[in-house]
Amino acid sequence: MGTFIGKPIKRREDARFLKGAGRYTDDIKLPKMTQSAFVRSPYAHAKIVRIDTTNARNMAGVVAIYTAEDGCGEYGVPCGWQVNFKNGETMREPKHPLLAKDKIRHLGEAVAIVIAETLEQARDAAEMVEVDYEPLPAVTDPQKAMDSGAPLVHDEWPDNAAFDWCIGNDRAEVEAALASAHHVTEMEYRNQRLAPNAIEPRSYIADYDVNAGKWTLYTSTQNPHLIRLLLCAFVLGIPEHKVRVLSYDVGGGFGSKIYHYTEEALLTWVSKEIGRPVKWTSDRSEAFLTDAHGRDHVVKSKMGFDKDGKIVAHLTDEYCALGAYLSTFAPAVPTYLHGTLFQGVYTTPLIHLNVTAPFTHTVAVDAYRGAGRPEATYLLERIISKAAKEMNMDPAEIRFKNFIPPFDGVNEPGYQTQVALQYDSGNYEAVLKRGLEMLGYEEFRKEQEEARRNGKLLGVGISTYIEGCGIAPSAVVGSLGARAGLYEVGAVRVQPTGKVSVFTGTHSHGQGHETVFAQFVADKLGIDMADVEIEHGDTDQVAFGMGTYGSRSLAVGGSAIIKSVEKVLEKGAKIAAHKLEAAEEDLEYAEGKWTVKGTDKSVSFGDVSLTAYVPHDYPEGLEPGLDFSSFYDPTNFTYPFGTHIAVVEVDSDTGKVHLKRFLACDDVGNVMNPMIVDGQIQGGVVQGVGQALLEEVVYDEVGQMLSGSYMEYAMPRADDVPMIETDRTVTPCPHNPLGVKGAGEAGAIGSTPAVVNAVVDALSHLGVTDIQMPLTPQRVWKAMHA
């Protein structure tokens, strides 16, 4: 701990949010700004026969209307990750046009954009655009999409597969081990499709300045630089240095605001055409139809055990939906962010995962909080609990039996998995022990027995997860198909007065970077937090960074900043030595000043800063200034882990699940601000509970969405969940300077299987072994009465 590191410092971003003074994109109004509305397809799959905009153009306030005919961004929006077929064939990569031309491939695909003076006028005119469609049969289920004769999403290929992929040991070897296993547990289910639902809908304003020949794009993104690059170099072919992307306050992302969406490119194009700023803010219905979704895997899995309950082999086949077009990181999610976590926290010697990833007549599926890792964790944690029941073992006992033994990555090497990764450090037994202690597991089992005798359905579920954060190094992710690097940039600009501006390429949309980053910078420099300001979300201010997702900001972005802090101190020491007429080796730095060891001669950080910018009496040959920028490319991922435990009671009459307690003991490495880490865990847990009990995007047979509003798509509300009891162990990351791992996704990864395990446990004496998520009262009741 330092003065600030490790302390629950209150957030400096809060005051503006609490006063209603946040600056979200939709809050911004520019002079002469126009508004826009989209004309979207009411069909999932259709031919566009005719578009007539004549009547719409004559409506009051209409400035312009564009369709694909107008030639906007003909290259379309690109995909940022390439996963090829197992046989070496290249990934099938369709063009993703900004406006549909000839054919519709998912419900809500945009056909035209209407620009008007006011939003009401734009919407009114959009309704007057006439489009004739010829509806075609659609396929929305990833497994059915691979049936022969399934409707094709893209006619240029003979079937719907974008790619297939496998990872792990030789399939035949895994099958043989399963054939000779003492016991085999099987599962078949769907990891259902989810809508991320950040409460702030996506919003964009594009502003072309005719005189300067420059664009400003205000956008609700997690990822400003990548948006600029994709927009300029791939979609519109405009010069990158003429575009400024700004994302001030962003109201939650959870993955859905990582991607480069067609709307932001189209608005950028439109703004130049009309020579005025143009805004579009999604409404909630459009968000359901057009924000990238998460999950949607159809899973078939087998896990083999020896007679002691040790896992001997694991084989899984999955169909993973990609949607109609490939979203920015979509191919990575069911593959490298998913299959690589199939080791879990267990010593499983043989693993094989096969993934078939088809196009479907739905909106794209991409990373959603956890991205591939929740799906892997759900499978592992459900199947091992199911196996325990089948083998008459306690679910905690079977886990203890299979855990990878503790290793710190310093004295012991990292743990090499069967699925490509090397874990950095871990102590999985410790978090499970602590989790059981938090609950009072033995006591609970007695209470449960008693409750059962009284006809009450009480259950406990355990999940012991691991996840991979801050994916890197760039060369490795490049070899896995990423078309981007995954380093981060961090600059420290010391002002002449010793005040410090920090520039980070990560982006904060709820995580509290402005506070946390200032905490460790102030500590490392030995200055007051008030003297440190964190800047992000402006591509004109910050060098090319990679944004925030995958719980990477502190582990990767924080490390880049630390590198710059070190450079500041190194140069500062040279200036201090000159001022103190001492040798650099004789100086020590603490509490914001350099002191000649063993004396009271010292010079402050502020004095050195001023000298750097007023270099009159200055070391010879040294450049003026105290301003450094660094790029940090990690040597490995980080691997947080933890134990989540859910206690539920099921209403025997209605099947309604009541989540009574939720306990989480997580290990995210060193903790900079425990208040914020706990908040991240609590929020993540509840999102995971949402998947377990409430949430599902449902498309019907023809590709209509049956869950397109808050009336049908249920998310956790305050009275659906209890307080989330948290604790932690600390196993530092051995390979980054702060020893941090990442906390943004852990909650959502660990919690879902804990809840489902608890419900199945509550009903196990009724013969229930599995229930399809979400565990709605109807499904639970049916399972109880099957």
403 beta partners:
346
Half-sphere exposure of 35 (CA within 13 A, CB side): 17
In the window 187-226, what residues touch another protein (CB under 8 A)? 197-201
Which uninterrupted H or E stretch holds 46?
strand 46-52
By a kind-dependent CB cut-off of 5 to 8 A, residue 358 interacts, out of another protein, ligand FES, none, with none
| Residue 315 backbone dihedrals phi, psi, to 5 degrees | -130, 130
d(CA 406, CA 301): 28
By a kind-dependent CB cut-off of 5 to 8 A, residue 255 interacts, out of ligand FES, another protein, none, with none
Tokens of 717: 């509300």
Shortest distance (Å) from residue 277 CB to another protein:
15
By a kind-dependent CB cut-off of 5 to 8 A, residue 20 interacts, out of another protein, ligand FES, none, with another protein
Q: Is 688 in the site for ligand FES (CB under 6 A)?
A: no
Which uninterrupted H or E stretch holds 425?
none
In the window 408-437, what residues touch another protein (CB under 8 A)? none
Whose Cβ is closer to ligand FES: residue 199's or residue 590's?
199
Shortest distance (Å) from residue 302 CB to ligand FES:
40
By a kind-dependent CB cut-off of 5 to 8 A, residue 538 interacts, out of another protein, ligand FES, none, with none
Provide the angle, in degrees to the nearest 10, between the axes of the packed helices 559-580 and 513-525. 30
d(CA 43, CA 275): 33
Whose Cβ is closer to another protein: residue 34's or residue 169's?
34
Write down the residue that tokens 């088809």 correspond to: 358
Residue in 1, 172, 210, 723 binding another protein, rule: CB under 8 A: 723
Shortest distance (Å) from residue 97 CB to ligand FES:
31
Tokens of 307: 């007679």
Shortest distance (Å) from residue 200 CB to ligand FES:
8
Could you tell me which of 688, 650, 648, 686 has the C-alpha nearest to residue 779?
A: 650
By a kind-dependent CB cut-off of 5 to 8 A, residue 256 interacts, out of ligand FES, another protein, none, with none
Shortest distance (Å) from residue 680 CB to another protein:
8
Shortest distance (Å) from residue 720 CB to ligand FES:
15
Shortest distance (Å) from residue 14 CB to another protein:
5
By a kind-dependent CB cut-off of 5 to 8 A, residue 74 interacts, out of another protein, ligand FES, none, with none
Stretch that binds another protein, among 107-115, 156-164, 434-442, 680-688 (CB under 8 A): 680-688
Q: Is 251 in the site for another protein (CB under 8 A)?
A: yes
Whose Cβ is closer to ligand FES: residue 463's or residue 553's?
553
Shortest distance (Å) from residue 18 CB to another protein:
4
Whose Cβ is closer to another protein: residue 47's or residue 717's?
717
Residue in 3, 6, 7, 13 binding another protein, rule: CB under 8 A: 13
d(CA 311, CA 185): 10
Tell me how crowded residue 594 is: count the other CB atoms within 10 A of its CB. Answer: 26
Parallel/antiparallel/unpaired status of strands 311-320 and 294-305: antiparallel
CA gyration radius for the chain?
Answer: 27
> What is the full DSSP assignment across 620-663?
TTPPS--EEEEEE--SS-B--EEEEEEEEEE-TTT--EEEEEEE
Site string for another protein, 440-479 (x = CB under 8 A): ----------------------------------------
Phi-psi region of 409 (alpha: psi -120 to 50; beta: other; left: phi over 0): left
Shortest distance (Å) from residue 400 CB to ligand FES:
37
By a kind-dependent CB cut-off of 5 to 8 A, residue 17 interacts, out of another protein, ligand FES, none, with another protein
By rule CB under 8 A, what count of residues binds another protein? 58
Could you tell me which of 421, 403, 381, 368 has the C-alpha nearest to residue 301?
A: 381
| Residue 149 backbone dihedrals phi, psi, to 5 degrees | 90, 0
Residue in 1, 20, 443, 598 binding another protein, rule: CB under 8 A: 20
Site string for another protein, 687-706 (x = CB under 8 A): x-------------------
Contact 156, 330 (CB under 8 A): no
Residue in 1, 18, 172, 199 binding ligand FES, rule: CB under 6 A: 199
Residue in 6, 61, 252, 526 binding ligand FES, rule: CB under 6 A: 252
d(CA 408, CA 101): 55
Whose Cβ is closer to another protein: residue 425's or residue 680's?
680
Residue nearest to ligand FES (CB): 199
DSSP, collapsed to helix, strand or coil, labels residue 34 as strand
Tokens of 511: 């995580």
Contact 196, 396 (CB under 8 A): no
Q: Is 510 in the site for ligand FES (CB under 6 A)?
A: yes
By a kind-dependent CB cut-off of 5 to 8 A, residue 19 interacts, out of ligand FES, another protein, none, with another protein
Widest Cα–Cα separation across the chain: 86
Contact 177, 350 (CB under 8 A): yes
Residue in 7, 715, 739, 772 binding another protein, rule: CB under 8 A: 715
Whose Cβ is closer to another protein: residue 675's or residue 702's?
675
Stretch that binds another protein, among 19-27, 235-243, 415-423, 450-458 (CB under 8 A): 19-27
Whose Cβ is closer to another protein: residue 21's or residue 475's?
21
d(CA 671, CA 8): 10
Tokens of 310: 């040790």
d(CA 293, CA 295): 7
d(CA 586, CA 598): 9
Residue in 721, 764, 772, 784 binding another protein, rule: CB under 8 A: 721
Shortest distance (Å) from residue 667 CB to ligand FES:
25
Shortest distance (Å) from residue 201 CB to another protein:
7
DSSP, collapsed to helix, strand or coil, labels residue 94 as coil
Q: Is 676 in the site for another protein (CB under 8 A)?
A: yes
Residue in 141, 207, 249, 366 binding another protein, rule: CB under 8 A: 249
CA distances from 32 to 114, 118, 211, 638 (A): 16, 11, 15, 47
Stretch that binds another protein, among 13-21, 206-214, 302-310, 453-461 (CB under 8 A): 13-21
In the window 492-551, what residues touch another protein (CB under 8 A)? 509-512
Whose Cβ is closer to ligand FES: residue 715's or residue 784's?
715
Site string for another protein, 22-51 (x = CB under 8 A): x-x-xx-x----------------------
What is the b/e burial string over 570-588, where b = at least 16 CB atoms within 10 angstroms of the residue's CB?
Answer: ebbbbbbbbbbebeeeebe
What is the b/e burial string over 363-375, where b = at least 16 CB atoms within 10 angstroms of the residue's CB?
Answer: bbbbbbbbbbbbb
Contact 116, 96 (CB under 8 A): no
Tell me how crowded residue 239 is: count the other CB atoms within 10 A of its CB. Answer: 12
d(CA 288, CA 296): 15
In the window 737-756, what residues touch another protein (CB under 8 A)? 747
Whose Cβ is closer to ligand FES: residue 435's or residue 510's?
510
User: Integer distance in angstroms from the first to the last C-alpha of the chain?
Assistant: 55
Whose Cβ is closer to another protein: residue 27's or residue 528's?
27
Contact 307, 343 (CB under 8 A): no
Whose Cβ is closer to another protein: residue 165's or residue 713's?
713
In one letter, which amino acid is 628?
F
d(CA 284, CA 196): 12
By rule CB under 6 A, what count of residues binds ligand FES? 3
Q: Residues interacting with ligand FES, by CB under 6 A? A: 199, 252, 510
Q: Residues interacting with another protein, by CB under 8 A? A: 10-11, 13-22, 24, 26-27, 29, 119-120, 197-201, 249-252, 254, 281, 283-284, 509-512, 675-676, 678-680, 682-687, 709-711, 715-719, 721, 723-724, 747
